[in-house]
Amino acid sequence: MTVLYSLALLVSAALLFLLEPMVGKFVLPLLGSAPEVWPTTVLFFQAVLLAGYAFAHITSRLPARRQALLQLGVIVAAAAVLPIGVPDSTPPESANPIPWLVALLATTAGLPFFALAALGPMLQRWLAGTRRRAARDPYFLFAASNGGSLLGLLAYPLVLEPQLSLGGQGRTWSIGYALAFALVVASAALLWIHPRERTAPPEEAAPAAAAPERIDWRRRLLWLTLAAVPSSLMLGTSTYLTRDVSPIPLLWVVPLALYLLTFVVAFSPWTNAERLTVLGRRLLPIAAIVMTYTLMIGAQKPLALLLLLHLGGLAIAGLLCHGRLAAGRPGTDRLTEFYLWVALGGALGGAFNAVLSPLVFPGLVEYPLAIVAACLLRPAPPKKRPDLLEFLLRDPRATRAMDFVVPLLAGGAVGAGLVASGESQALESAVAGLACGLALNLSRRPVRFALALGAMLVAASIAGAVVDDVLYRDRSFFGISRVVAGDDGALHQLYSGTTLHGAQRVGARPPKPLGYYGPSSPSGQAFAQLPAATTRKVAAVGLGTGSLACLQRPGTQLTYYEIDPAVVRIARDPRFFTFLRDCPVRPKIVTGDGRRSLEREPKGSFSLVAVDAFNSDAIPLHLITREAIELYLSRIARGGSLLFHLTNRYLRLEPVLGNIAAELDLVCRIRTQVPTGAEQERGYQKSTWALLTRRPEDLGAIRLDRRWTPCATDPDAQTWTDDYSNPLAVVKWG
C-alpha cells in the first residue's frame, strides 16, 4: 500500500507540474511572450490547487470508500477536455488580458488539474485511516508528491520541449493522465480489500481514540505566512530572471523546482525539521545580503553567476520557511486542514505578485519585499549574551526602539552614499558593499536585520531615481517601462526593465535617432541604401521611442505595431520623445500583437517589414518562427525585404534566423556595429541587424558591403516553428 500510494502521488504530481509550463508555452504566443504570462499562470494553478485541497478537506467527512468513488468520478469527468492542445482563441487587443487568460486556462486545463490536485491530501488521509506503521505520520507522502512535481518540472524543458511538438506534448500528457487514473483505481481498491489492515504491532499502533489536536488562529496564520512568503519569493525570482532574458520554460521551472525541492527536503522522513530551520536561519542572512547587493547596484552580468546567487537565496529561504512548516505540522486528524492553509498561503503569495503588484507598484518591488519578509520569518537565535546596545542602554524599551532606528540610519547612509557616488560604478559598489557588511552584523536580531535590508533597498531605489533622474515610470502586463534623463537632462532614454529601447537629445530639431538607430548603424544603412521601392511602405513590429520614423525617406508610409499601450503613451508624449511628431514621416500606430495584426493586413501590402521586438532581452519567440517569417514574406511585395533587430545580451538568435532562411531559400545577411568611443559618448549603442530577401539583387548596394556577412546556421539544430522551439539551446551563459 505504501509503495502504491507513493507511486500514485508521484505520477499525479509530476503531471500537475508538467502541465504548468506546457500550458504556459501554449498561451505565450497569444500574449506576445510577455513575462507576466508565467506569474498569472502559476497563480491560476495555485488557485485550482487550493480548490482541490478544499475539495479533499470537505469530502474527508465521508467514509474513505465513498470519497474514493467520488474522486474516481471526478477524474473520469475531467478527461472530457483531453487531449490538451494549443488554444484557438485570441486575447483582447487593448483591455487587460488577465481575465481572458484565466478563463482560457480554466477551460483548457482547469478540470484535469483540479482532479489530480485533490489526490495529495486524499491519499494521505486514506493511508492515515489504516493500521499500518506509516499511517502514524503520512506526511512523507507529501515529500513523494513534491518529488514527483520536481520530476515533472524538469522533464518539460529538458525532455518534452526539445523532443516533441506542442501537439505531441498534449498527447503524451494524456497518456500520463490515464496512467495516474489506473494507479488511483488500484489505490482505491485496497480500501475495499484491507480498509483497516493491521500490520503494525499493537504497542506501535496509533491510539484508537486520541483527543483531537487543538489549533489556534495564531498557528494557522503562521502556516499561511510560511507558505505565502516562499511562493511570492519564487515568483519574484522568476520575474527578475525572465524579464531580461526570455520567458522560456527553463527559467520558469528552475525557481519553481527549487521551491518544490525545499518541500521535499523539509517533509522527508529522514529530515530533522528543527535542524533544517537552524541551517536556514544561519545561511539566510548571507544569501539575503548577496541578493540585496546585486539589486542595489543593478548587476546584469555574468548571467550564470546571477542565476546561481538568486536561485541559491531562494533555496535557502525555502528551506527555512518550509522547515518551520514541517516542524509545526499537526497530527493526522488535522492533515487536510493543514494542507488547505498551506495551499491558501501559496495562492495568496501568487496573487500578491501576479495581481496586486502590477497594479500598485511601478517597478519590480515585490521581489525585494519577499526577501525582507523571508528575513522577518527567521527565528531569533539563542541568546548567549546581551548585545552591545542592550548592554549600553539597559532598558529593553530602548533596545526595541533601536529595531527601527538602526534600519533608518542604515537606509539613510546608503541613500546618501549612492547619491554621492553619482555614476561611479566602483564607488557605488563600495558603498553598497559596506552597507551590506554593516547589515550582516545585525543578523542576530531578525527584525532589525530585515528592516535594515528593507531600508537599504528603499534608499537605493530612491537614490537610483535621483541619480538616474527617472522622469516617468509605468508598469503593464507586458513589462516595466522607464524614461530616464541623462547627461544633466540633455538626453532622454527609454528602458524596458534594464534594456535600452531608444534615446533622444532634448531640443534637437529634427530629432536624431540614437541608440541602435544612428545613421552609420546597420538599421540606418539599410534604410539609406536599400532600393527606394523597398522602403516605400514599411511595417515596423515594435515601437520603442519611434526612432525608425526619422530613418525613413520623405513620402514613406510607416505603420507601427506595438503590443504595449504603455509604450505607445510614452512615445506619443512630447515631454519625453518627439520622433512621432517631428520626423518627416507621420506614422500610423496599431496597438496589438504585431504578428496577429499583420495577419489582418492584405497580402503584398508592404515593401519592407522591420521586426524590432528583439532588442529587449525577453524576446517574443513567436515572432521568429518559420511560420512567422512566411507570414512576413506574404505581406511584402516582390523585391521587398525583412529587417530584424537581433541585439541581445543573453541569446544567440543569428543561427535561429539563419536556419529558417536556409530552409525557405532566402538570402540572409547580418551586420554588427560596435560604435567608437566618441560615438558612444553621443549616445550610440552596439547593435546587430539582419536582412532577409528573396534574391541577392533585392539587397541593393548592401550586397557589395563586406560588413554584411551571410547569417550563420546550425545544422544540428531543428528549425524553430510555431509547434517547436528550444530557446535553452541559444542561451549565452557567460
Shared domain for 366 and 403, answered yes or no, is no
DSSP 672: E
Q: Is the pLDDT at 541 greater than 80, yes or no?
A: yes
Number of domains in the chain: 3
Closest to 535 (Cα-Cα) out of 617, 640, 413: 640
Domain-ending residue, one of 438, 468, 498: 468
pLDDT in tens, 28-44: 777 776 767 778 888 89
342 CB-contact burial (10 Å; exposed 0-12 / middle 13-18 / buried 19+) = buried
Domain-ending residue, one of 376, 406, 428: 376
Calculate the CA 248 to chain-centre distance: 9
Shared domain for 110 and 192, answered yes or no, is yes
Residue 201: band (very low, low, confident or very high) from pLDDT cuts 50, 70, 90: very low
Range name among 86-90, 228-232, 504-508, 716-720 with the lowest pLDDT average: 86-90
Range name among 76-80, 239-243, 393-397, 709-713 with the lowest pLDDT average: 393-397
Which tops the pLDDT comparison, 157 or 616?
A: 157
Q: Is the pLDDT at 553 greater than 70, yes or no?
A: yes
pTM of the model: 0.70
Shared domain for 401 and 371, answered yes or no, is no
Overall average pLDDT of the 519-532 stretch? 91
Residues in CB range of 50: below 8 A, 6 or more apart = 340, 343, 344, 346, 347
User: Which residue range forms the structural domain that includes residue 658?
Assistant: 507-730
Provide the 3-class DSSP secondary structure of residue 367: helix
Q: Is the pLDDT at 628 greater than 80, yes or no?
A: yes
Any domain includes 205: no
Any domain includes 322: yes
Any domain includes 295: yes
Q: What backbone torsions phi and psi does residue 370 show, to the nearest 5 degrees?
A: -65, -35
pLDDT in tens, 601-610: 999 999 999 9
Overall average pLDDT of the 447-469 stretch? 67
Determine how many CB atoms are found less than 10 A away from the CB of residue 638.
10
Any domain includes 207: no
Any domain includes 330: yes
Q: Is the pLDDT at 187 greater than 50, yes or no?
A: yes
Report the pLDDT value the prediction gives residue 245, as an integer from 0 to 100. 54
Report the pLDDT value the prediction gives residue 176, as an integer from 0 to 100. 93
Residue 196: band (very low, low, confident or very high) from pLDDT cuts 50, 70, 90: low
| Highest-scoring range by mean pLDDT, 185-189, 291-295, 581-585, 668-672 | 668-672
The kind and range of the H/E element at 502 are strand 499-505
Shared domain for 168 and 242, answered yes or no, is yes
Separation between Cα atoms, residue 640 and residue 291, nearest integer Å: 49
Any domain includes 240: yes
Show the 3-state SS of 22-62: HHHHHHHHHHCCCCCHHHHHHHHHHHHHHHHHHHHHHHCCC
Shared domain for 532 and 409, answered yes or no, is no
Shared domain for 409 and 343, answered yes or no, is no
Report the pLDDT value the prediction gives residue 475, as an integer from 0 to 100. 79
Separation between Cα atoms, residue 63 and residue 83, nearest integer Å: 33
Overall average pLDDT of the 111-129 stretch? 84
Overall average pLDDT of the 262-271 stretch? 82
Any domain includes 607: yes
Any domain includes 490: no
Shared domain for 224 and 150, answered yes or no, is yes
Closest to 339 (Cα-Cα) out of 245, 259, 424, 263: 263
Beta carbons of 410 and 438 less than 8 angstroms apart: yes
Shared domain for 372 and 406, answered yes or no, is no
Shared domain for 454 and 321, answered yes or no, is no
Q: Is the pLDDT at 258 greater than 50, yes or no?
A: yes
Report the pLDDT value the prediction gives residue 57, as an integer from 0 to 100. 87
Q: Is the pLDDT at 13 greater than 50, yes or no?
A: yes
Report the pLDDT value the prediction gives residue 93, as an integer from 0 to 100. 65
Shared domain for 314 and 428, answered yes or no, is no
Beta carbons of 656 and 246 less than 8 angstroms apart: no
Range name among 86-95, 381-390, 562-571, 577-586 with the lowest pLDDT average: 381-390
Identify the CATH number of the domain in which residue 234 sits. Answer: 1.20.1250.20
Average per-residue pLDDT for the chain: 81
Range name among 263-272, 309-318, 460-469, 704-713 with the lowest pLDDT average: 460-469
Shared domain for 179 and 294, answered yes or no, is yes
pLDDT in tens, 274-284: 888 888 888 88
Residues facing residue 731 across a β-bridge? 651
Identify the CATH number of the domain in which residue 642 sits. Answer: 3.40.50.150
Report the pLDDT value the prediction gives residue 77, as an integer from 0 to 100. 93
pLDDT in tens, 60-96: 888 888 888 999 999 999 999 888 887 777 777 656 7
DSSP 445: S
Shared domain for 261 and 224, answered yes or no, is yes
pLDDT in tens, 343-397: 899 889 988 888 888 777 777 788 888 999 999 898 877 665 555 445 444 455 5
Report the pLDDT value the prediction gives residue 162, as an integer from 0 to 100. 81
